[in-house]
Amino acid sequence: MKISTKTKFILDKKLTKPLLDWIMNEDNRNKYITDEPEHDGYVVALDYLHIPQEELIKANFPYSELMSIGEIIRDKFELPEDTEIEPNYGYLTAYSEKGHSVHSHRDANFNVEGPDESLNEDLPDDYLGDVIHTRFNVLISKPIKGGNPVIIDTEYDVLENEVWGILAGIHHHHSTKVTMDKPRILLSFGYFIDKNFAINRGWYEE
């Protein structure tokens, strides 16, 4: 499948409901989702979900559903088996409420803030080597208004549960402000995709 923003590739709600239920539980958010990214409004995030943590297993975090979704996305976009999960955030979830937006940014195409600091590299922000930081995202709860991705100045009105892809290490991106009471809940699956693979698939031109 072509990488794009309006894929019409909609995840089955049966698969996303356990994640939605877990994240909607305020106790879970207060106890386990503590990372606060530097963006406007109330937002909490939990990264490195591709590596199960003991305390989250005990808290019944629905890892099997998360991994199934990861597999479905890999299959759909035909990512090679050996595609590396990107080491800065990996698989993550972010929960945000009214007032939140993500500032315009690009993500690093190298390991700059992964938890194993011995692997962090000191390279220019816009460094591009053999791999492209690519993310496959889905809003399992989409605000009534706002929360859409904006990629290179174009806003995409994605559907709830519609997976979109973004070359996050190449294209500047942000999100529109969340309004009203329904939260924005993002699942994001990050990979370092081989640059030549992206070129061959027509996802990227040098």
Nearer to Fe ion, 62 or 165 (CB): 165
Nearer to Fe ion, 62 or 114 (CB): 114
| C-alpha span between 83 and 206 (Å, rounded) | 20
| C-alpha span between 177 and 179 (Å, rounded) | 6
Nearer to Fe ion, 28 or 138 (CB): 138
| C-alpha span between 116 and 118 (Å, rounded) | 5
Give residues with Cβ within 8 angstroms of 183, minimum separation 6.
Answer: 24, 95, 96, 97, 141, 143
* Choice from 168, 185, 186, 187 touching Fe ion (CB under 5 A): 168
Nearest distance, CB of residue 1 and Fe ion, angstroms: 21
Nearest distance, CB of residue 168 and Fe ion, angstroms: 5
Query: Two tokens at 93?
Result: 């979830």
Instruction: Tell me the residue type at 104.
Output: S
Q: ∠ at Cα 124 (84, 51), nearest 5°?
A: 25
| C-alpha span between 47 and 94 (Å, rounded) | 8
How many residues at the interface with Fe ion, by CB under 5 A? 2
Nearest distance, CB of residue 19 and Fe ion, angstroms: 20
* Choice from 47, 86, 107, 194 touching Fe ion (CB under 5 A): 107
Ranges within 11-70 binding Fe ion (CB under 5 A): none
Q: Which stretch binds Fe ion (CB under 5 A): 17-25, 68-76, 107-115, 155-163?
A: 107-115
Nearest distance, CB of residue 105 and Fe ion, angstroms: 6
Nearest distance, CB of residue 181 and Fe ion, angstroms: 25
H or E stretch including 137?
strand 131-141
Judged by CB under 5 A, does residue 108 bind Fe ion? no
Nearest distance, CB of residue 107 and Fe ion, angstroms: 4
The full DSSP string for 177-204 is PPBSSSPEEEEEEEEEEEHHHHHHTTS-
Nearer to Fe ion, 28 or 93 (CB): 93
Query: For 161, which DSSP code?
Result: T
The residue ranges that bind Fe ion (CB under 5 A) are 107, 168
